[in-house]
Structure 1
Amino acid sequence: MRLEYRDGLLFASLTIEHGGRTVTVDNVIVDTGAADTIIDIIAVEPLQLAADEDDVIVRMAGLGGFDYAVRKTVDALTFAGHTLRKPSVDFGNLVGHPGIHGLLGMDILTHGQFVLDLHAVTINPHRGLDSHRF
């Protein structure tokens, strides 16, 4: 999958499925410095996410300080041809970061054992490793 290198960051798109609905989220930063994936709640409005008793409120911390998000299990998340079933994803308010609709963190990247090629500006799941390693 080709990434877009813009403003010193790597941008991609991912798709989230939940409750029979699907949405593609663009302008997601591939962030090897983020432990967890977070998606802007406004970017996934078409999913009509509702509160669930299994949802968890989590504190997000980063260079800009901290905020809170809702950790929710969705039906599926697809990135670069790799689909995760029933991943937990954080949904929060990223309005303070215009043009950024999410951060794809190490929780998803390690699951897909992705290989990042900075020369070609691509990322792809590693097909040769044991997928149960992580």
Structure 2
Amino acid sequence: MKIEYREGLLFTEVAVLYNGTKKFIDNIVIDTGASHTLIAQDEVDDIGIVVGAEDEIITSYGIGGKEHAFSKRVEGIQVGDFIIKDIPLDFTSFRYHNINGLLGLDILIKGEFHIDLVNFRLHHV
């Protein structure tokens, strides 16, 4: 799958599957420094992903400080033609205007993805 290098970051697109709906989300940063994938809450409100009493609240720490998020089990996440089914994903408010999420190591490792920095492509085994 094609990735885009801009503003010093690698961007791609993912699809979140929830309650029978597939929502494509662009401007996702491929982040090998992130242990978990994180999606902007605003991007999934329209498909019914909102925090509930059964969701775990998590705090992550990174270079930008600490972030609070909630973890919700979704039907799947799709990266290119690779789908991981029945997986918990983290959702939070993003403060960065052009980033809708981070594709972290949890998904990159499960999909055995390879990042091709010559041709700017993301491949899975």
TM-score (ref. length: structure 1): 0.89
State the AA in 2 paired with 1:93.
S
Q: Matches of residues 1-134 of structure 1 in structure 2 within 5 Å?
A: 1-94=1-94, 96-126=95-125
Q: Shift in Å at residue 51 of structure 1?
A: 3.9
CA distance in 1, matches of 2:37, 2:97: 18
State the AA in 2 paired with 1:34.
A
Report the 3-state secondary structure (helix = DSSP H, G, I; strand = E; otherwise coil) of the residue aligned with 2:68: strand
Which one has the bigger strand percentage? Answer: 2
1:87-128 deviations in Å (ceiling 9; x for gaps): 11100000x2111000000000000000111001100111xx
Structure 2 segments unaligned to the other structure (5+ residues): none
CA distance in 2, matches of 1:114, 1:54: 31
TM-score (ref. length: structure 2): 0.95
Identity level (%) = 32
Structure 1 segments unaligned to the other structure (5+ residues): 127-134
CA distance in 1, matches of 2:36, 2:14: 15
State the AA in 2 paired with 1:83.
I
Report the 3-state secondary structure (helix = DSSP H, G, I; strand = E; otherwise coil) of the residue aligned with 1:108: helix
Q: Shift in Å at residue 54 of structure 1?
A: 3.8
Provide the aligned C-alpha RMSD in A.
1.1
1:21 and 1:46 in contact (8 A); partners too: no
Q: Shift in Å at residue 53 of structure 1?
A: 4.8
Q: Shift in Å at residue 52 of structure 1?
A: 4.2
Runs (4+) of structure 1 moved beyond 2 Å?
50-54
CA distance in 1, matches of 2:62, 2:51: 25
CA distance in 2, matches of 1:81, 1:63: 32
Aligned residues: 125
1:15 and 1:25 in contact (8 A); partners too: yes
